[in-house]
Structure 1
Amino acid sequence: MAPNLRSLFSKGRNPASVAEPAPPRFIEAGGRQILLTIRENARAKRLILRIAPDGGAVVTVPRRTPKRTLEAFLGRHRGWIEERAGGERAPVVVADGSSIMLRGEPVVLRHMGGRRVSRLESGTGALLVGGLPDHFARRVGDFLKKEARADLAMAVAKHSEQVGLQPRTMALKDTVSRWGSCTADRRLSFSWRIVMAPPFVLDYLAAHEVAHFVEMNHSPAFWAVCRSLCPRMEEGRAWLKANGAALHRVRFE
């Protein structure tokens, strides 16, 4: 039988005994040790994570939640805890010598001058950016938008073929509130920053919006369609929830 969390909250099973508090536990976030409080609630139906006024993280768990379930939950939400409890992280400024993510892998940015072209250098993990230094950040952004459009077009085409419906249009934006959208007449919109995420995350996002071609809602039927298009749906959702904010910290100005 899998270990459960009862030992974290009390000793023994005697109702008359006074529960002893669990020893303090911390989780690393943003280079700091954040106090982690685990609270068992008999009425809880799922694990709930919030940030306390003192900056610590609090997890409410149903009774007899297996320890491995808690650990997996914390692993998926470590980025969320870091973003909200670990203090404000400095934005990533796009400049010569800095590093950003592309398809989930780090890419070093290098200004090469000369022609106004940008290209990935095989074997070095570097993005070589041409043109004037004043246009460096904009050219990096343009390169990412081009790559995002190609990757999303391929993913959307694959999923559209599976559902037997094609999109009317596909637009790229730099939205903060949502990663993608789909209208009733199948007009798609995506945040181009998704190209910085691992490919399975981009694939999930494309599948999510194409699934709206069939179900214009978030009903169980919708999630069934989405899962059939993207078997790694849960993993993609969890990655975006935990790490999506980091993609918005990259500044292209």
Structure 2
Amino acid sequence: MGHHILPGNPPLALTLRRSPRARRISLRVSRLDGRVTLTMPHGVREGEALDFARTKEDWLRAQLDARPQSVDVTMGATIPVEGRLLRIVPGTGRRILRDGDEIAVPGPGAAAPARLRAWLKGLARDRLATASDRHATALGRPYARLTLRDTRSRWGSCSSGGGLMYSWRLIMAAPEVLDYVAAHEVAHLAEMNHSPAFWAVVAHLCPDYQTPRRWLRDHGTGLHRYRFDV
């Protein structure tokens, strides 16, 4: 693993990687963090790979420009909650409240990001537990436990011991998207694979699963652009 900078405005940082399985030189732009990886098969000179990257510079810059910009979750910012965009405003009292197109967060503005993250995680746990319980009952397969994480590589998982794990950021997506992910993971309680039998179980639990599945594939990465560590 090495690194190289392509000059320009701005300069482009490349991560160079050799792969015994690679058949050709390839470039990849991470949808999560914008990292550019240049993969080389064994036997290909580094200079040859860098020449290839230079021929793709316009494409690289277009890919990076198209990435969604990060959003700092602070007063005045807008965030999605259950698929609806809400503006963060100062609140009174002790609880975070939704009111129309606003979400009111009491207390010091500096504490708002951490308070909102905790509130969203609590709401996510409630919604995901309800959906998981419903699907597990329909399937006749109980699960062992439910945990939440801030995972970037997957929206959920199911262990061989019946443990369900979900990304709490699903609470920012529309309810049907969260419900699909719950159905997907509960279906693994019966089929620990992605065979036709597995997808038949998903279709039984969530008949219109293709629509939310497509939304996650096309737009799900955007849920990671909301930064609560400000």
TM-score calculated relative to the size of structure 1: 0.65
The answer to whether residue 227 in structure 2 is matched with residue 251 in structure 1 is yes
State the superposition RMSD in angstroms. Answer: 1.8
The answer to whether residue 154 in structure 2 is matched with residue 175 in structure 1 is no
Structure 1 runs, 4 residues or longer, greater than 4 Å off = none
Deviation at 1:85, TM superposition (A): 6.0
Deviation at 1:125, TM superposition (A): 1.6
Question: Partner of 1:97 in structure 2?
Answer: 76
Q: 2: distance between equivalents of 1:101 and 1:232?
A: 22
What does the per-residue CA deviation read over 1:34-89, in whole Å, with 9 as the maximum and x for residues that have no partner?
A: xxxxxxxxxxxxxxxxxx93429xxxxxxxxxxxxxxxxxxxxxxxxx9x464333
Question: Partner of 2:188 in structure 1?
Answer: 212
TM-score calculated relative to the size of structure 2: 0.71
Decide whether the 8 Å contact of 1:200 with 1:232 is kept in 2: no
Percentage of identical aligned residues: 40
Q: 1: distance between equivalents of 2:148 and 2:97?
A: 21
Question: Partner of 2:166 in structure 1?
Answer: 190
Q: 2: distance between equivalents of 1:87 and 1:200?
A: 27
Q: Which runs of 5+ in 2 are unaligned?
A: 1-54
Question: Partner of 2:206 in structure 1?
Answer: 230
Aligned residue-pair number = 173
What is the SS of the residue equivalent to 1:171? strand
What does the per-residue CA deviation read over 1:146-171, in whole Å, with 9 as the maximum and x for residues that have no partner?
A: 11111111110110001101111000
What is the SS of the residue equivalent to 2:142? coil
Decide whether the 8 Å contact of 1:179 with 1:194 is kept in 2: yes
Deviation at 1:116, TM superposition (A): 4.0
The answer to whether residue 121 in structure 2 is matched with residue 117 in structure 1 is no
Deviation at 1:133, TM superposition (A): 1.9
**Aligned pairs (5 A) from 1:1-253:** 53=56, 54-55=58-59, 84=63, 86-112=65-91, 115-121=93-99, 124-253=100-229
Q: Which runs of 5+ in 1 are unaligned?
A: 1-51, 57-81
Q: 2: distance between equivalents of 1:250 and 1:202?
A: 18
